[in-house]
Structure 1
Amino acid sequence: MPVCVMVMADAPSAEGLTQRLRDTDLPLLKCLTIPPDGDAIDKVALLNPDLTRQQRQQSMARWLMPFGFLAGVTFTKITTLTTFASFGPWGETLIGGLLGMGSGLMGSYAAAASVDSDNDAGVRILRNRRDEGRWLVLLETPNGIEAPWQVIQRSRPQQVVRLDDL
């Protein structure tokens, strides 16, 4: 989905641009005005690397944990190790699966933390502009539909940051 963020000098220009974008006939997935104060920017996943990383970790855990469980059960069954033999054959297998599931969960944290987004530089620029007191207007359009560039250019933004297609 094409995403671009316009940096505006003040509230009237940002809100005016947001209203003009919403008045266009183009379908918009997201059109948000982000003020320079408060924590509104931290609630937008596209502009918050920590939130993006958390979502990526949860997504990876969804498939790593079941595979970890199966790997733990398989490892327990194919080896002759009797580390948890006091729990019986089923208990030993179950504990091996749970340990494998825990390994999958730890792996999801490690993998999510090790991946840098292509948008990190653009997000850093936008967060710096917001810290300088600028207003941000986030625009997200469906695939294959370009942003209304004439409307954007008429509003004279200070900067337009186009984030990579997600």
Structure 2
Amino acid sequence: MTTPVGASVVVVLADRKRLHQLHSQLAERQPPMVQLLAIGEGETAFADVARLNPAAARQRRQRSMARWLIPFGFFAGLTFTYMTDLDTFAFAGEWSQHLVGALLGMGSGWMGSFAAAASVSSEEDDRIRSLRNRLEEGSWLLLVETPFGVEMPWALLQQAKPRAVVRLDD
């Protein structure tokens, strides 16, 4: 069972020593953090962090949209073939031509889920792009996710003198 996430932030730090100090301080806190991940050279690679991967987010959106667009397309295709009473797929027989129309509608819903997921650009994608730029400039990142209902330890984060603290969700 996964723990629901309360707040997610990425702390941008100037050096690796501060990164490890903050990581150990946060790891000792009770209740424990849902996720505490150091990102940078010699640590976890930026591309390996699913939470900071826009392609993974787009894939989740596509799957979510496909869950309702595919059945909708099936019924829309079926309804269209019955309403228009066209014999476009007459080779399949009277009953099967409606099924062929429904399957084509289902395929259209599947293709539409890709187009819709790719067309959405979230504000979080812009934040992630800025974090990637910070990492390329030589900074270190610490992904901190608290359990639901637990306040982010802002005072502790500020004591580490971060270059920036970026909220991933509002």
8 Å Cα contact 2:37-2:44 kept in structure 1:
no
Q: TM-score, normalised by structure 1?
A: 0.89
Does 1:65 pair with 2:65?
Answer: no
Partner of 1:112: 117
Aligned counterpart, 1:51: 56
User: In structure 2, what is the Cα distance between the partners aligned to 1:67 and 1:82?
Assistant: 22
- Does structure 1 residue 87 correspond to structure 2 residue 92? yes
Q: 1:159 aligns with which of 142, 164, 167?
A: 164
2:151 corresponds in structure 1 to 146
Which contiguous aligned blocks of 4+ residues in structure 1 show a shift greater than 6 angstroms?
none
**Counterparts of 2:44 and 2:114 in 1: how far apart (Å)?**
25
Count of residue pairs brought into register by the alignment: 165
- Give CA deviations for 1:9-64 in whole Å, capped at 9, x if unaligned: 23232122112111111342211111147872223233222221111111111211
Q: Which residue of 2 aligns with 1:9?
A: 14
1:116 aligned counterpart, secondary structure = coil
Residues of 2 paired with 1:121 and 1:80: CA distance? 48
> Matched residues, percent identical?
52
Kindly provide the CA deviation profile for residues 69-122 of structure 1, in whole angstroms up to 9, marking residues without a partner as x: 111111112221111111112321221111101110111111111211121332
Check conservation: 1:69, 1:98, Cα contact below 8 A: yes
Q: Which piece of structure 1 moves more, 24-33 or 55-64? A: 24-33
Q: Which residue of 1 aligns with 2:23?
A: 18
State the one-letter code of the partner of 1:61: A
Matched, 1:123 2:135: no
**Gapped regions of structure 1 (runs ≥ 5):** none
Alignment root-mean-square deviation, CA:
1.9
Instruction: Mark the runs of 5 or more structure 2 residues left unpaired by the alignment.
Output: 1-5
Contact 2:38-2:44 within 8 A present in 1 as well: no
State the secondary structure of the residue aligned to 2:57: helix
**Distance in 2 separating the partners of 1:41 and 1:89:** 55
